[in-house]
Amino acid sequence: MDLKRAVPILTVPDVAAAVEEYSSLLGLDVLMDQGWIATLGSGAGAQFSVLSKDRTAPCNPVLSLEVPDVDAAFEQVRATGAEIVHPLQDEEWGVRRFFFRTSHGHVVNVLSHHR
């Protein structure tokens, strides 16, 4: 699987409060904020997200992996027999994604941005 970007995700009860806290404590920029998820980062390229409740999935992921071809990544993960916990689908906010669960129980979001 080609990997373009990996972003850890922290589940928080209040995204706005978490954005305010991390921005203030760490001097990070808000790179994306949809209310229910926000991504913060630095000029050096480091990023992480804070998430309250995923908008369309049954659970929150702990990691987002951006890939150039999410359909190929889906077939690769599915071929391993890993549990798919959110089906491959286009989301209204401009990504195509799916979630899988690792053998350790971690839920991973794999996505590509629409072109």
CATH of the domain at 68: 3.10.180.10
pLDDT digits (tens, 9 = 90+) for 28-49: 999 999 999 999 998 788 999 9
pLDDT for the residue 1? 83
Total of domains in the chain = 1
The model carries a pTM of: 0.91
List 51's β-bridge partners, or say none: 11, 37
- b or e along 63-79 (b: 16 or more beta carbons within 10 Å of the residue's beta carbon)? bbbbbeebeebbeebee
The answer to whether the beta carbons of residues 9 and 61 sit under 8 Å apart is yes
β-strands 37-41, 29-33: how paired? antiparallel
pLDDT digits (tens, 9 = 90+) for 44-72: 889 999 999 999 999 999 999 999 999 99
Domain range for 104: 5-113
pLDDT digits (tens, 9 = 90+) for 72-114: 999 999 999 999 999 999 999 899 999 999 999 999 999 999 8
